[in-house]
Amino acid sequence: MTVPFETVRKTLTARMAAFTGIDQARVEYPNSPQPDGTFKPPANGVWCAFEIQYATPFLCGLADTPTYRRPGQVVIQCFVRRGEGLGTINRLADGLSDHFQSWQAGHIECMEVGQQLVGYYEDYYQTNVTVRFRAG
């Protein structure tokens, strides 16, 4: 079964919204309507940006019509203000790993979760949590 892109988006976004390890007001979702039109990072503590990136689909079955599997990864950019230490951002990454790793809903399966250290910018530190998934 080829899973529609919108089904993938809704399912993975709902999984992130169900995560209780961060206040959802601290999570920026792609093109989501904000009361004033923009997401404002908090003055302290951690916050995230959620994104789905697709990889090249591949043929996975031939029946009446071909079916395709859609692999990809969820990228959750995690930020913390400079000088607040790395403990909170690492605990957030661990919580996201526990929440997504080896989770499945219907024909959408999340697999391993990784963390990539991005580094410092002007006033914050960033790490990315990546969740590999396949749909179909």
Average pLDDT over residues 61-85: 92
Query: With 90 as the cut, is the pLDDT of residue 62 above it?
Result: no
Residue 34: what pLDDT?
A: 66
Least confident of 48-57, 63-72, 104-113: 63-72
DSSP-derived secondary structure for 90-132: HHHHHHHHHHHTT-EETTEEEEEEEEEEEEE-SSEEEEEEEEE
Residue 3: what pLDDT?
A: 93
Cα separation, 1 vs 6, in Å, equals 14
pLDDT band with cut points at 50, 70 and 90 for residue 16: very high
Query: With 70 as the cut, is the pLDDT of residue 35 above it?
Result: no
pLDDT band with cut points at 50, 70 and 90 for residue 36: low
Question: If you average pLDDT over every residue of the chain, what do you get?
Answer: 93
- Reported as half-sphere exposure (CB side, CA atoms, 13 A), residue 103 has a value of 17
CB 79 within 8 A of CB 124: yes
